[in-house]
Chain A
Amino acid sequence: MARHRTLVVGALLVALALPFVLSATGHDFQIVFAARIMIYAIAAASLNLAIGYGGMISFGHAAFFGGGAYMVGILAAEGVGSAWLAWPAGVAVAALAALLVGALSLATRGVYFIMITLAFAQMFYYVFVSLEAYGGDDGMSLAQRSGLGFGLDPSDDITWYYVVLVLLVAVLYLLHRLIHSRFGRVIVAIRENESRAEAIGFPVYRYKLTCFVISGAIAGLAGALVANHANYVSPSLLHWMQSGTLMIMVILGGVGRFWGGPIGAFVMLALEETLSGSGVLGAYSVHWQLPVGIILLAIVMYAPQGIAGAFRGRNA
């Protein structure tokens, strides 16, 4: 336990010092990349809540992620530039979408649940593809990041980094509290044995739906941030390949392990960044997904517990 705490404090200190180290060594552009990793860490952590703790293999989280992003984009296009309005709106829309999808999908299980969440997410994808008023297939650019007030300038990359860091820490703290609360224990009990939890008297469906909605809402927050981060939203944020990527992050990091989401986001994005740059593959770097696919297959075959699992014991 003490070792765990030291690790967390150490990681936080590294995260706090990172922008200074990077700009002192002339790697300023990496600050933006680090912020992107943290945003995807939030998204992957939200998906890990549903998959790892709730046992709900959602293949549709891109819908909530992209829904949150589009809410911020649409509000910005309509002249609402405050993050204090846009982000909660993004979270609310994602939660609502998760409520809708979850209410219908949670009546099923197994491969059905996977396929249905996938199909519903794809439905949202096509809705945004046909929304010509907001860019349609091409997506749309945002004029600037949502304003934060308090004299903070979100277009400054270092400020933005710290804003994202604060939100990541807040989300992880919240998830930690949630998982170790009575609610979290019930959710895990349902994952382990649904009929037993039902027999004890827990309203299984309601617990699962609540967990699914919380997970979707957090994914919406990550989406709101990604819209601001890139100043650009497009339907590809909702595409099922996006859901798949988030899922891969969770599996890579370790399903149902607390740090699984953040670790997976880091590994996946670092891998993508390294392989898609011209440094490793040279002229073949456009085909960076080929080595990624081969690496994933190798992990499936040889490291079934994910990366967090390969280094740690059973209990995370």
Chain B
Amino acid sequence: MSGVLIAEQSLNGLQFGLMLFLLAAGLTLVFGIMDMINLAHGSLYMIGAYLMASLVQATGSFWLALPLALAATAAIGVVLEVSIVRALYARDHLTQVLATFAIILVANEVVRLIWGPQPILLAPPEALAGPIELVPGFQYASYRLVILGIGAGVALLLYVLVARTRVGMLVRAGASNREMAVAMGVNIRLLFTAVFGLGAALCALAGALLGPVLAVQVGMGENILIIAFVVIVIGGIGSIRGAFVGAVLVGVVDTLGRALLPALFGTFLNPQYASSAGAAASSVLIYVLMAAVLFFRPQGLFPARG
């Protein structure tokens, strides 16, 4: 277990965490402001990745396709909000679960119908295909580095948007007390649609950037959705800051756990059990983290409601 491995895995964890943040940010706002449970958030992530793959093929350029995929997914998100999700805000959580679960089923099958059941290939831009030497003796995939940079940049932008602008103020007002915000004359309908569209665009960004690293396939959204839930529960529903801290925490803990635990177990277990026990332990690590946070702070680390 060398320092290089730990450094590399820490960077991977940070990168995964930032992508999780893109998903969790939209999700936490939808939960926090609209008090609405949205399982279909992962579907937007999947749709974003698929659109990206097709647009890369069509345009021949990764960087040209990226904004197009973002815009297209945001448009799909807005249509979804206006046609179905809007009718769900006033309903109970159970109905929201049923409806958004149904949206998952529909989205998965539509994607299967259009793109087929096999995972599809989304290649990183050619200029970023190789590794780059960060410090002498330490190589790191340059594409992952770019993901890191974009993730950090978008996180910063989002922070400025929510903490420093008028729109952000409305969003925060909605998250901490929706009735009061409505009473103060906020056009909450428009705000909801905008937040949902923004959330969809962030999903697409995560899907498009992670596509070349993970596989673009049906069901990709569901797996990452649960991790985004864990992030939100840890961070506190409705809090962008909480989502950021939670996402980085979960990303780093999960990645480092997967890389290091099997080896760690190997030091005191025989190898046959160590790999199996290590895999099991590392896959439950983030849930144990969530349980621990909940035990001490049931409202998460940064509760949005006072």
Contacts and interface: CB of A to CB of B under 8 A. Distances in A.
B246 to A, nearest CB: 12
B233 A292 contact: no
A301 interface: yes
Nearest to A129: B283
Nearest to B27: A115
A122 interface: yes
Contacts of A116: 233, 290, 294
Contacts of B291: 104, 120
Interface in A95-137: 104, 107-108, 110-112, 114-116, 118-120, 122-123, 126-127, 129-133
B284 A297 contact: no
A122 B226 contact: yes
Given A111-B237, A241-B222, A297-B99, A104 B284 contact: no
B31, B84, B298 — which one has the most chain A CB atoms within 10 A of its CB? B298
A115 B87 contact: no
A51 interface: yes
A252 to B, nearest CB: 8
A304 B91 contact: yes
B230 A119 contact: yes
Interface residues of B, number: 45
Which bracket fits the contact residues of A? 35 or more
Contacts of A278: none
Contact of A297 (B31, B106, B280, B295): B106
A248 B101 contact: yes
A131 B281 CA distance: 11
Nearest to A292: B105
A295 to B, nearest CB: 8
A163 interface: no
Given A293-B103, A297-B106, A122 B287 contact: yes
A286 B116 CA distance: 11
Interface stretch (B62-70, B107-115, B160-168, B198-206): B107-115
Given A104-B291, A130-B279, A244-B101, A115 B229 contact: yes
**How would you classify the secondary structure of chain A's contact residues: helix, strand, loop or mixed?**
helix
Interface in B73-112: 84, 87-88, 91, 93-95, 97-99, 101-106, 108-110, 112
Contacts of B109: 287, 289-290, 293
Contacts, number: 123
Interface string B277-300: 001100110011011001100100
A115 B233 contact: yes
A110 B222 contact: no
A112 B233 contact: yes
B276 interface: yes
Contacts of A112: 233, 237, 298
Given A119-B230, A296-B105, A107 B95 contact: no
B8 interface: no
Contact of B105 (A114, A131, A247, A293): A293
Interface string B10-53: 00000000000000000000010001010100000000000000
B232 interface: yes
A258 to B, nearest CB: 17
A75 B287 CA distance: 27
Given A104-B291, A104-B294, A297-B103, A119 B98 contact: no
Interface string A10-34: 0000000000000000000000000
Among the interface residues B87, B109, B230, which one has the most CB atoms of the partner chain A within 10 A?
B109
15 contacts: A104-B295, A115-B229, A119-B233, A120-B287, A120-B291, A241-B222, A289-B106, A290-B106, A293-B103, A293-B105, A296-B102, A296-B105, A297-B102, A300-B95, A300-B102
List 8 tightest A-B contacts by C-beta distance, closest first. A293-B105, A296-B102, A290-B109, A123-B287, A126-B283, A293-B106, A130-B280, A130-B279
